[in-house]
């Protein structure tokens, strides 16, 4: 065993669960306020699956950069 930290108490576990729920609710609200994000991510994933690039991260960077140029 690397770390022998005591287990979390019932109260600590409940506090962590409540914090997680708050964070998730905030993220859902933010994504809900930006519906274009879902479409953009869907389009990016489709492009990656279609093109099967050797370097998906570099591909994604170029794809997003192309969006910036198209909007300019």
Integer Cα distance of 24 and 61 in angstroms: 27
Q: Which residue carries 């065993």 as its tokens?
A: 1
Tell me the percentage of the chain whose pLDDT exceeds 90: 81
**Structure token digits, residue 72:** 């300019």
Q: Is 63:71 a contact under the CB 8 Å cutoff?
A: no
pLDDT value at residue 29: 96
- Does residue 63 have a pLDDT over 90? yes
pLDDT value at residue 72: 58
Query: Domains plus CATH for the chain?
Result: 27-71 (1.20.890)
**Total residues belonging to the chain:** 72
pLDDT in tens, 23-62: 999 999 999 999 999 899 999 999 999 999 999 999 999 9
Instruction: Quickly count: other Cβ atoms within 10 Å of residue 48's Cβ.
Output: 15
42/70: higher pLDDT: 42
């Amino acid at each position: 065993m690397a770390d022998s930290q005591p287990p979390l108490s019932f109260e600590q576990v409940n506090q962590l669960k409540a914090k997680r729920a708050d964070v998730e609710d905030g993220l859902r609200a933010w994504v809900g306020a930006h519906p274009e994000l879902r479409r953009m991510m869907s389009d990016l994933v489709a492009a990656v699956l279609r093109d099967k690039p050797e370097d998906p991260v570099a591909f994604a960077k170029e794809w997003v950069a192309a969006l910036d140029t198209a909007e300019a």
